């Protein structure tokens, strides 16, 4: 495997835990590091502890080996004991990202690597650099990333003096997919198949050479799928080098950090960032499946915008999705989310029942035009546009345009799909005064001005 180390790491023989912690404190101030025993998974197995800092890693198929030559390590054996990572997650719940990162690198050494996507998760590399410990970084090159992302990869390697370990999709699988279904099949039948070939399977190969990995997941990134992400967990979806369920540990050092605080940190540390962020991109993936978001939109709305909310994971973190009927648009979503408060609740917005919507559909000569949002109160994208829609209703008050809402999840979903053009939540329809068929709002721009322009163009 190729190793990725910061250029600032000293080469002074073996490092003891105590001397290393003193070094961190002297550089960064009073940081309280947890005095956790060095325990791992799988009681029955034994491993080698590598003493020298730059030791030649064992060659395997997960990561392309570096061309550099290293000194052969001196090794000693130690017994690997099981650790309760659920308890460790609770212990570290209020710890800083730096403390969590240091804990992860100390425990797993060369058997852990940072997953870098080329977006704001560059913060992970900065935290790893600040610990003063050696660290590794890998990234998935899908072959369809933005040029700006490749430029960031190069800038990060030069800034930190590291070599990112790139993983690529299988050429035969990509060729079969493209020849069979074309270059943009994901727009027609969903992104999961393409992501499985270009991202999930390469990730699986990379993780088979590790015992732990570090991700940039945050709870506020996707309320529907990531709101309960712990700072450390046994990976529920992938296997590590030992094989079998429970053989891989997943660290999420910034799980409890909000996006604005990540950016404050990046600006303060003056680290390289993806130039796409300056163009309105927040969550960045492959070029065909990523676009900027507008004020009032959640950051994940810039990913796979043509799909339902439940599809806002590419498969790398599918273990976050506990019940697709809750996080997606399943027919049981209504019962599963009875406790969720209703939205768009204002005197300017009319709540429509199923018979009311059916009457609107039947009328060919309405007394006034209607604007209706098909929504689910648990959908984070509906929640994100609530303010804009409420303000729009206030502006349209007295204009002759009625503004309504229809809850289209649960038992009403099939009807909404068949009769109301529901594809994903939210769907916005305009019912003209002298036409029977409603007109679907085609854009993801749900700010007040864009919605008002749509209405004014049709009424």
**311-341 pLDDT per residue, tens:** 444 445 555 544 443 333 344 444 444 557 8
Distances from the Cα of 323 to the Cαs of 130, 301, 336, in angstroms?
A: 38, 21, 10
Distances from the Cα of 177 to the Cαs of 75, 169, 171, in angstroms?
A: 45, 12, 10
268-307 residues labelled b (16+ CB within 10 A) or e (exposed)? eeebbbbebbeeebbbbbbeebbbebeebbbbbbbbbbeb
Element (H, E) at 50: strand 46-50
Q: Which of 194, 195, 286, 379 is catalytic?
A: 379
Angle at 183 between CA 179 and CA 185, to 5 degrees: 95
Beta bridge pairs of residue 162: none
To the query of whether residue 382 is one of the catalytic residues in this protein, the response is: yes
Closest CA to 5 of 141, 157, 149, 111: 157
Question: What is the C-alpha to C-alpha distance for residues 459 and 456, in angstroms, rounded to an integer?
Answer: 6
To the query of whether residue 379 is one of the catalytic residues in this protein, the response is: yes
Question: What is the C-alpha to C-alpha distance for residues 212 and 247, in angstroms, rounded to an integer?
Answer: 8
Tens of pLDDT, residue by residue over 116-164, are 987 788 999 999 999 999 999 999 999 999 999 999 999 999 999 999 9
Distances from the Cα of 156 to the Cαs of 67, 98, 163, 270, in angstroms?
A: 20, 19, 9, 12
pLDDT in the model for residue 34: 39
Element (H, E) at 19: helix 17-28
Q: Which of 194, 195, 314, 382 is catalytic?
A: 382
| Residue 253 CB burial class (10 angstroms; 0-12, 13-18, ≥19) | buried
Tens of pLDDT, residue by residue over 156-196, are 999 999 999 999 999 999 999 999 989 988 887 778 888 88
What's the whole-model pTM score?
0.55
Closest CA to 248 of 77, 121, 111: 111
Element (H, E) at 176: helix 171-181
Backbone dihedral angles phi then psi of residue 349, each to the nearest 5 degrees:
-120, 125
Q: Are 229 and 219 in contact (CB under 8 A)?
A: yes
- Average pLDDT value for residue range 89-96: 94
pLDDT in the model for residue 203: 94
């Amino acid at each position: 495997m190729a190793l990725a180390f910061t250029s600032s790491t000293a080469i002074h023989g073996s490092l003891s835990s105590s001397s290393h912690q003193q070094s961190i404190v002297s550089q960064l101030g009073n940081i309280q590091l947890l005095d956790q025993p060095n325990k791992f998974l799988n009681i029955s197995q034994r491993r080698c502890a590598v003493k020298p800092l730059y030791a030649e890693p064992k060659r395997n198929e997960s990561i392309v080996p570096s061309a550099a030559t290293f000194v052969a390590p001196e090794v000693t054996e130690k017994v690997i004991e099981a650790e309760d990572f659920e308890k460790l997650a609770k212990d570290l719940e209020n710890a800083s990202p730096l403390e969590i990162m240091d804990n992860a690198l100390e425990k797993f050494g060369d058997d852990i690597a940072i997953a870098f996507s080329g977006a704001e998760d560059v913060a992970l590399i900065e935290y790893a650099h600040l610990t003063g410990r050696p660290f590794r970084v890998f990234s998935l090159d899908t072959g369809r990333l933005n040029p700006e992302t490749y430029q960031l990869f190069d800038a990060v390697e030069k800034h930190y003096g590291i070599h990112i370990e790139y993983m690529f999709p299988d050429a035969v699988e990509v060729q079969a997919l493209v020849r069979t279904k074309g270059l943009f099949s994901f727009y027609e039948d969903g992104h999961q198949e393409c992501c499985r070939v270009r991202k999930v399977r390469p990730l699986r190969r990379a993780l088979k050479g590790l015992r732990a990995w570090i991700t940039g997941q945050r709870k506020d990134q996707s309320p529907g799928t990531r709101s309960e992400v712990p700072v450390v967990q046994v990976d529920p979806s992938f296997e590590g080098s030992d094989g079998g369920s429970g053989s891989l540990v997943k660290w999420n050092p910034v799980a409890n950090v909000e996006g604005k605080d990540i950016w404050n940190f990046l600006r303060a540390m003056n680290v390289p960032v993806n130039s796409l962020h300056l163009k309105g991109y927040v969550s960045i993936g492959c070029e065909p499946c990523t676009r900027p978001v507008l004020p009032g939109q959640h950051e994940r709305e810039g990913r796979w915008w043509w799909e339902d909310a439940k599809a806002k994971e590419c498969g790398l973190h599918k273990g976050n999705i506990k019940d697709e009927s809750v996080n997606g648009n399943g027919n049981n979503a209504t019962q599963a989310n009875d406790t969720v408060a209703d939205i768009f609740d204002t005197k300017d917005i009319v709540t429509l029942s199923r018979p009311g919507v059916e009457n609107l559909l039947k009328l060919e000569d309405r007394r006034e035009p209607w604007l209706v949002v098909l929504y689910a109160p648990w959908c984070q994208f509906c929640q994100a546009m609530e303010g804009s829609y409420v303000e729009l209703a206030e502006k349209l008050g007295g204009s002759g345009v009625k503004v309504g809402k229809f809850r289209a999840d649960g038992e009403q979903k099939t009807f909404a799909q068949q009769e109301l053009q529901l594809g994903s939540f939210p769907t916005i329809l305009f019912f003209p005064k002298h036409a029977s068929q409603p007109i679907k709002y085609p854009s993801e721009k749900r700010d007040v001005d864009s919605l008002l322009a749509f209405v004014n163009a049709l009424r």
